[in-house]
Amino acid sequence: GNSVTQMEGPVTLSEEAFLTINCTYTATGYPSLFWYVQYPGEGLQLLLKATKADDKGSNKGFEATYRKETTSFHLEKGSVQVSDSAVYFCALSDRGDAGKSTFGDGTTLTVKP
């Protein structure tokens, strides 16, 4: 079956530091890939996505590139802010059964001033 493996947290950074959260996946088909973010007390919300190989998703300074050869979708940001403190989830959506999504366990990011 499908699976998503995320870098274990928690991750603690100082403001303006560079962020990388690793995500690798296993899928039988050719999935779409997502990063969702969950702020304290809120539901998950889409941060960015990519639907085919070599696509780069980007939003709010975050980027991730769909790497089919390494089955990865690592999240990066050049300069984090305190407001980026949240839990980040990598997810995939099966192309064969398009409504079927698999989520990673989440990585908690804390950014200190």
- How many angstroms separate the CA atoms of 81 and 83, rounded? 5
Q: Give the three-class secondary structure for 84.
A: helix
Options 17-25, 42-50, 65-73, 77-85: segment touching another protein (CB under 8 A):
42-50
Query: Is 42 a residue that touches another protein (CB under 8 A)?
Result: yes
Q: Of 8 and 16, which has the nearer Cβ to another protein?
A: 8
Q: Which stretch binds another protein (CB under 8 A): 11-19, 31-39, 58-66, 73-81?
A: 31-39
Cis peptide preceding 10, ω within 30 of 0: yes
The Cα 91–Cα 78 span in angstroms is 22
Instruction: Establish if 68 lies at the interface with another protein (CB under 8 A).
Output: no
